[in-house]
Amino acid sequence: MGIAELSARRSKDPKTQVGACIIDPVSNHILSIGYNGLPKGFNDDEFSWEKSESFIDDKHTYVVHAEANAILNATKNLDGSVIYVTMFPCNECAKLLAQSGVKKVIYKDEKFLHKAQGQAAMKIFGYAEVEVEKYLDADEKQKAEDERIMDIVEIKKGLST
């Protein structure tokens, strides 16, 4: 996830910086990285990074997502690969990931997971048999393990009464 986070820092979008890192799950070698940014030929400094009600003036009309850039930057086959992404993918990126052969998505931020695009992405991943996992840092893993142990203790207490 660290490489995806580092890649996200390259994004010029002042509000949403997303990074992606695709790896080979056998060797753990990096296959590709990407971040959300403008297509080739655009000048980042002259572009308005604002949202707008107007489709033509809205930044979302032009920005290429981190996942799409990582797929486009890949120089090797992505069949069976794993992608680490700093934000849960939208439905458009989910289609690209499934089509490119990515078999596991590990995401950090679930900001859009429960919105319509995120729900559609989950449906796409389900049909395409792409595994989805929430990334947990060391503190979050420890907290989850502590909660699991407490649950076991509570179950044992219930069984002994």
Question: Would you call 1 exposed, middle or buried from its count of C-beta atoms within 10 A (0-12, 13-18, 19+)?
Answer: middle
Active site residue 67: yes
| Distance, CA of 102 to CA of 131 (rounded, Å) | 9
| Distance, CA of 124 to CA of 116 (rounded, Å) | 12
Cβ atoms of residues 81 and 130 within 8 Å:
no
Catalytic one of 46, 67, 92, 131: 67
And the tokens for 79? 């069949």
- Annotated catalytic sites, by residue? 67
